[in-house]
Structure 1
C-alpha cells in the first residue's frame, strides 16, 4: 500500500491550501505533544526495581520490553518513533498536495484562457 506521501509525490492527491494548512496545524500540534512526552520517555526505559523474587524480576523485564520492544511487542518507544515519522511524512504530503492543487488550478485556468 502506498503512503499518503508517495501518493502526493506522484500527483495523485491534491488539497486546497486552506485545507492543507488545517491538517498541517493538527499535525504540528501532535508533534508538539510528542515532544512533551519525549521528556519523560527515559523513565519508562529504565528497569523498574520490583524486588528480587523471580516474579518481580519477570515483571520488571516485561515492563521494560513493553517500553523498548521485545518478543511479541514493538514497544512504546519505537511505536512513538514510528508515529513521529508518519506525522512528518503526512505533513510533507499535505504540503505537496497543496502544491498539486495549485498546479491543477493553474492548468485549468490556462486551459480556459485558451478558449
Structure 2
C-alpha cells in the first residue's frame, strides 16, 4: 500500500511540475475508475467500525490472544499495517491520483492553447 501511495504522490508531483498532461477525453476513464473506487471505499467504511471493535470470544488465554490478533489485523500492530490504516492510505492515494489527473488536464489545455495561439489564422 505504501508503494502505491508513493506512486500516486509521484504522479501528482509530475502533474504539478507540468511533466504530465492528458486530454479531458483521455482522463475520463481514469476519473471514473477513481470515483468508482472511492464509492466502494465509502460503502466499506460503514463496516470498518465493526471490524475495529474487540471481538468477544471469551476470557480464556486463547480467546484473548485471538481477540488481540483480530484487533491487530484490523487496526495495525504486530508487523501488520492493518486493514483500517491500509484503507486510509488507499483513500489518500486515490485523492492524489485524482488531483494528478485533474492537474494533468489543465496542463494539456495550457499546452494545447499555447500551440493553437501559435498557429496563423487565414
TM-score (norm 1): 0.92
SS of residue paired to 1:113: coil
Deviation beyond 2 Å, 4+ runs, structure 1 = 110-114
Q: 1:73 aligned to 2:80?
A: yes
Q: Where does the alignment leave 5 or more consecutive residues of structure 2 unmatched?
A: 1-5
Match of residue 52, structure 2, among 42, 45, 54: 45
Q: Where does the alignment leave 5 or more consecutive residues of structure 1 unmatched?
A: none
Match of residue 25, structure 2, among 18, 23, 26: 18
CA RMSD of aligned residues (A): 1.5
SS of residue paired to 2:55: coil
Match of 1:57 in 2: 64
Measured after TM superposition, the shift of residue 111 of structure 1 is 2.6
Measured after TM superposition, the shift of residue 25 of structure 1 is 1.2
SS of residue paired to 2:20: coil
- Give aligned pairs, total: 114
Residues 61-108 of structure 1: CA deviation (Å, up to 9, x unaligned): 011011011120111001000100110111111010011111111122
TM-score (norm 2): 0.87
Measured after TM superposition, the shift of residue 26 of structure 1 is 1.0
- For the residues of structure 2 that align with 1:12 and 1:61, how far apart are their CA atoms? 47
